[in-house]
A and B are shown apart, each in its own frame.
Chain A
């Protein structure tokens, strides 16, 4: 089946630094990728839809300048958490699908801890 690779799996950083998370579709092209945030024992909250070659679509309440999304190619989307603070600590997950409206393939997630 299709594979989505996400790196890093875990990152610990100091408050005020920026962290970049990569999401790659390894064996298919994805014009759209999705970024989610998940708190412990809770569901996935969609943060934004990453669109290849155009601006990302952010969900209500998600700060665009805080969570920068770049989808420069059909196989790579990046999420940069800028000037991270402890409240940004969370589990971030990306997903993509070879075909719109069909099942999603998820990355393995990134656990971000901001000290």
Chain B
């Protein structure tokens, strides 16, 4: 079953703007991860944030985690057309031996 809910389901912005995607989850977690998927391809890992971390950066990506609200956000700054993809959050629930994926956000960057 899906644990994560993401919003928005779809986001379309102009190149150069920032894109923010949100993820909410239900149970306690060990870590939360963000993945990217280009159409018809496998997923690529972007960033992992542990439950005791609040913010993490990787290049143009910034991820925040609020365990009290059971939510996370992914910010992509200075977006590029090549950022067009679906983005998924995934949680590693405590006690579970698997990742549970959110519904995903389809991001479109318009040139």
Q: Which stretch of A63-71, A73-81, A107-115 is in the interface?
A: A107-115
Bound: A16/B101 CA distance, A: 31
Q: Chain B: interface secondary structure?
A: strand
- Which B-chain residue is minimally distant from A2 (CB atoms)? B45
Contacts of A46 in B (CB 8 A): 98-101
Q: Which stretch of B36-44, B61-69, B73-81 is in the interface?
A: B36-44
Contacts of A34 in B (CB 8 A): 98-99
Assess whether A95 is in contact with B97, with CB atoms less than 8 Å apart: no
Interface residues of A in 31-65 (CB under 8 A from B): 32, 34, 41-46, 49, 60
Bound: A44/B43 CA distance, A: 10
* A-side interface size class: 20 to 34
- Which A-chain residue is minimally distant from B44 (CB atoms)? A106
Assess whether A6 is interfacial by the CB under 8 Å rule: yes
Interface residue count on the B side (C-beta < 8 Å): 25
> Per-residue CB proximity of A91-115 to B under 8 Å, as 1/0?
1010100001111111111010000
Contacts of A4 in B (CB 8 A): 42
Assess whether B48 is in contact with A103, with CB atoms less than 8 Å apart: yes
Bound: A91/B38 CA distance, A: 13
Given A101-B30, A101-B31, A103-B33: A44 and B41 interface contact (C-beta under 8 Å): no
Bound: A95/B99 CA distance, A: 10
- Which A-chain residue is minimally distant from B31 (CB atoms)? A101
Assess whether A43 is in contact with B42, with CB atoms less than 8 Å apart: no
Interface centre among A41, A43, A91, A100 (most CB of B within 10 A): A43
Assess whether A106 is in contact with B30, with CB atoms less than 8 Å apart: no
- Which A-chain residue is minimally distant from B34 (CB atoms)? A103
Assess whether A49 is in contact with B103, with CB atoms less than 8 Å apart: no
Contacts of A103 in B (CB 8 A): 33, 45, 48
Known contacts A104-B33, A106-B42; 8 additional CB pairs below 8 A are A42-B103, A43-B101, A43-B102, A60-B1, A93-B42, A95-B42, A101-B30, A101-B31
Binding site for B on A (CB under 8 A): 4, 6, 32, 34, 41-46, 49, 60, 91, 93, 95, 100-109, 111
